[in-house]
Amino acid sequence: MKALKTADAGDAAQIERELELIWSRSGSPSMDLLLRRGEDAIEAGDMTAAIGHLSALVDHAPDFAEAYRMRAQAFYQEGELGLAMQDLARCVSLNPYNYEAAFGIAMILEQTGRVDAAYRGFLSVLQVYPGHEGAREGLDRVKTQVSERDI
């Protein structure tokens, strides 16, 4: 993770891909298959199937952080922000370095009007991964709202 903090854009992209590969391995071929099926269902736009596969994965591998992050993505697509937030928080509790889960939390906080917390969330993502474009853009969006309230 230290390398990600100081990496240039090209190296950061490579490190990001490597982390995603590491995080997507449960250690069980059958659990990895459930994750792939959930991911494929999300790509196909079938959130019901995705939630089904990913819920089965969470049931069978409750310590597999990526299962929660992916299920949160499906819940988010369904407009279930509370359920998405719960899963993202669980993912971060299992893998505190998962900047994508932290980014998802910050996005939901922003969307639900909690801009102060969103601001802190985007900052926390940038502390782990300074080159995260989405977090930088999010920080820019909420920065004025936070500073306007401070005036």
pTM > 0.75: yes or no? yes
Per-10-residue mean pLDDT of the chain, 151 residues long, equals 76 88 92 96 98 97 97 97 98 95 98 96 94 95 77 39
pLDDT at 151: 39
- Secondary structure of 81-108 in HEC code, one letter for each residue: HHHHHHHHHHHHHHCCCCHHHHHHHHHH
The CA distance from 55 to 34, in Å, is 9
Contacts with 132 (C-beta within 8 Å, 6 or more apart), sequence order: 99, 103, 125, 126
Looking at residue 23, its pLDDT comes to 93
Which tokens go with 141?
Answer: 């969006």
Q: Extract the tokens encoding 87.
A: 């899963």
Give the chain's domains with CATH numbers.
1-97 (1.25.40.10), 98-151 (no CATH)
CA distance from start to end of the chain: 36
> Can you read off the two tokens belonging to residue 103?
């980014």
How confident is the model at residue 37, as a pLDDT?
97
* Backbone angle region of 37, left / alpha / beta, with phi > 0 → left and psi within -120 to 50 → alpha: alpha
Instruction: Quote the DSSP letter at residue 36.
Output: H
Q: How many residues does the chain have?
A: 151
Q: What is the pLDDT of residue 148?
A: 61
